[in-house]
């Protein structure tokens, strides 16, 4: 389907027919809760109520979201400097302030982006926010089904898989359960991209305050997007097959900070780790 010049593709049923999920506005959505943490306006009362329960557990939840978004921007800038001109943003959410196309516009206009998300409200807002752009596409799909994403006509139009791709899995894999094989999901995306491609990943961990993480998981259990936070070692296993750039797998503020003093205090306050790896 199209709207305002941007092309959006919906997921397929098992029989191959296209469908669009209903919004289920009675249940909170991780994408809309994240939008709320970032100060966006594309969320509903049910999302704000769930987010408020998270804030009771983590009063700095908005700062964590901002630190994650800042890592995304630094990673995209690095990949642009390395010559990457096309990005596949998995679980992109609502493209509000500081998203990939805005980083590109400010640094190196013309690179292409495919946003992928399962949330129909995020897709609808993407149509509005990104309408008219020919260098950005939106695929309504489940990132746990890589072939559905990779074989999308929108992906194929914007992404040349014979050239390096920046695969972005930022704050998305902790919404993929062990039963859905997150390592296998990432391996399929790695197989699809050319050598010289990159993966930027961030992931919530249980290492620092597992009791609080369990409470947050309890909140998300009642949303459309239950969580599986992992240990640092488990996140490292997801990165198998990617050659990590310095400084490796680190806390969010530690990955190539814009200002050295950003990582001088205890960076584990974010309780999220991140890395950028290259396919050789």
Show me where the domains of the chain are located.
Answer: 23-278
Q: What is the pLDDT of residue 200?
A: 98
Q: CA torsion, points 148, 236, 119, 101, in degrees to nearest 10?
A: -90
Torsion angle of C-alpha atoms 106, 108, 112, 116, degrees rounded to 10: -40
- Angle formed at CA 13 by CA 8 and CA 18, multiple of 5 degrees: 35
List the beta bridge partners of residue 114. Answer: 88, 137
pLDDT for 230 equals 98
Reported as type and span, the H/E element at residue 276 is strand 272-278
Rounded Cα distance between 141 and 172, Å, is: 13
135-138's contacts with Cβ under 8 Å and 24+ in sequence apart are: 135/101, 135/110, 135/111, 136/6, 136/101, 136/112, 137/6, 137/7, 137/8, 137/9, 137/112, 137/113, 138/6, 138/7, 138/8, 138/9, 138/114
Any idea what DSSP says for residue 268?
Answer: G
The per-residue pLDDT string of the chain (280 residues; one tens digit each, 9 = 90 and over) reads 333 333 334 434 333 333 334 455 678 999 999 999 999 888 899 999 999 999 999 999 999 999 999 999 999 999 999 999 999 999 999 877 788 999 999 999 999 999 999 988 888 888 787 877 899 999 999 999 999 999 999 999 999 999 999 999 999 999 999 999 999 999 999 999 999 999 999 999 999 999 999 999 999 999 999 999 999 999 999 999 999 999 999 999 999 998 765 555 789 999 999 999 999 9
* Of the candidates 192, 179, 108, the residue with the CA atom closest to the CA atom of residue 148: 192
CATH number of 23-278: 3.40.50.150
Which neighbouring-strand residues pair with 117?
A: 140
* pLDDT on residue 24: 57
């Amino acid at each position: 389907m199209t709207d305002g010049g941007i092309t959006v593709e919906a997921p397929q049923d098992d029989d191959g027919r296209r469908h669009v999920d209903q919004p289920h506005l009675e249940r909170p959505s991780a994408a809309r809760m994240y939008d709320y943490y970032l100060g966006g306006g594309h969320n509903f009362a049910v999302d704000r109520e769930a987010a408020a329960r998270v804030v009771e557990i983590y009063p700095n939840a908005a700062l964590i979201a901002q630190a994650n978004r800042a890592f995304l921007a630094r990673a995209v800038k690095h990949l642009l400097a390395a010559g990457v001109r096309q990005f596949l943003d998995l679980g992109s959410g609502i493209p509000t302030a500081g998203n990939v196309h805005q980083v590109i516009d400010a640094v190196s206009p013309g690179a292409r982006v495919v946003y992928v998300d399962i949330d129909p409200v995020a897709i609808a807002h993407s149509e509005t926010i990104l309408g008219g752009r020919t260098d950005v596409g939106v695929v309504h799909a489940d990132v746990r089904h890589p072939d559905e994403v990779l074989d999308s006509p929108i992906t194929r139009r914007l992404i040349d898989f014979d050239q390096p791709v920046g695969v972005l899995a930022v704050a998305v894999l902790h919404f993929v359960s062990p039963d859905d094989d997150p390592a296998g999901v990432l391996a399929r995306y790695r197989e699809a991209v050319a050598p010289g491609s990159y993966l930027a990943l961030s992931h919530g961990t249980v290492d620092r305050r597992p009791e609080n993480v369990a409470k947050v998981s309890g909140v998300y259990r009642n949303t459309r997007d239950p969580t599986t936070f992992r240990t640092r070692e488990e996140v490292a296993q997801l990165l198998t097959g990617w050659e990590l750039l310095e400084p490796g797998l680190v806390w969010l503020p530690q990955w190539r900070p814009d200002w050295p003093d950003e990582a001088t205090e205890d960076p584990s306050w974010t309780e999220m780790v991140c890395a950028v790896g290259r396919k050789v």
